[in-house]
């Protein structure tokens, strides 16, 4: 049973470009969480999605950021018109249960660098 | 507003001795606490958790203690091993949120020599 997959592992973008980060949850998991880790900080919750639904986006910046988890395929975190401050590690976690706390399994992360 | 705080950025311990990592929180609504371990270039891995109805949970070499009145929890690792060298994150959640979102501390880097 493969773990949570994230790709790309590293992504370099110039200011103003778009970044798309993909997350494939573990098999049988239909709950996905996205977290961001800025340098020298802990992980910060961004959004919680179930298949085809955004359940909690209280941690998402109001502009330029969006997330989806379609019926088929991976969850996508999209950042439009990236700025240097978006440089961070973005982690996805999946869970088989709604509101799963200890059952959140994390992927290896995507490290975004904005030049 | 840092609701979960790990005030020690780093800790160095000799192999075989006890490692004690500390975490403080401010939100009294938190009712579930977790510790994650993270190696460089990897995602966090769940280590151990504790519900607010307990004050201690033990799993092998790892024990978590919760002091609700002080809003403080700690992770004890004994005996410490070189493979324990990693960043440890404390996290909290409250069941009433029904989303399971985790609030993380800043992390403590543990080095076991």
Name residues whose C-beta falls within 8 Å of residue B94's C-beta, 6 or more positions apart in sequence. Answer: B27, B29, B30, B31, B32
pLDDT of residue B11: 96
Q: Closest-CA residue in chain A for B107?
A: A42
Q: Residue A101 has what pLDDT?
A: 63
Per-residue pLDDT at B96 exceeds 70: no
At B81, the pLDDT band (50, 70, 90 cuts) reads very high
Q: Which regions of A1-115 does DSSP assign to beta strands (E)?
A: 5-7, 10-13, 19-24, 31-37, 43-50, 53-56, 65-68, 75-79, 88-95, 105-106, 110-114
Residue A57: burial class (beta carbons within 10 Å; 0-12, 13-18, 19+): middle
* Cβ neighbours around A50 below 10 Å, total: 13
* Contact A105/B at CB under 8 A: yes
Task: Say which of A48, A91, A108 has its CB closest to residue B101.
Answer: A48
DSSP structure class, residue A84: G
Of A4, A43, A100, the CB nearest to B100: A100
State yes or no: pLDDT of B108 exceeds 70.
yes
pLDDT averages per 10-residue partition of chain A, 115 residues: 89 98 94 92 93 92 95 95 96 84 86 96
Q: Which residues of A touch B49 (CB under 8 A)?
A: 101-102
Q: Which residues in chain A have their CB less than 8 angstroms from residue B34's CB?
A: 101-102
In this complex, is the C-beta atom of A44 within 8 Å of any C-beta atom belonging to chain B? yes
């Amino acid at each position: 049973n493969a773990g949570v997959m994230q790709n790309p592992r590293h992504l370099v973008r110039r200011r103003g470009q778009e970044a798309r980060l993909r997350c494939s949850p573990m098999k049988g998991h239909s709950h996905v969480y996205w977290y961001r880790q800025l340098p020298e900080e802990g992980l910060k919750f961004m959004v919680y999605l179930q298949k085809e639904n955004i359940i909690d986006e209280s941690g998402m910046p109001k502009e330029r950021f969006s997330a989806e988890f379609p019926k088929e395929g991976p969850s996508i975190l999209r950042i439009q018109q990236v700025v240097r401050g978006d440089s961070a590690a973005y982690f996805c976690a999946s869970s088989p249960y709604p509101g799963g706390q200890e059952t959140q399994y994390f992927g290896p992360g995507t490290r975004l660098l904005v030049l | 507003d840092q609701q979960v705080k790990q005030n020690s950025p780093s800790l160095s311990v000799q192999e075989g001795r006890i490692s004690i990592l500390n975490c403080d929180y401010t939100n009294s609504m938190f009712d579930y606490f977790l510790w994650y371990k993270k190696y460089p270039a990897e995602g966090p891995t769940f280590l151990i958790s504790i519900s607010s109805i307990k004050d201690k949970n033990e799993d092998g070499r790892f024990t978590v203690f919760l002091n609700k009145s002080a809003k403080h929890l700690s992770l004890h690792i004994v005996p410490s091993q070189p493979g324990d060298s990693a960043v440890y994150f404390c996290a909290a959640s409250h069941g009433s949120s029904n989303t399971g979102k985790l609030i993380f501390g800043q992390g403590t880097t543990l080095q076991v020599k």
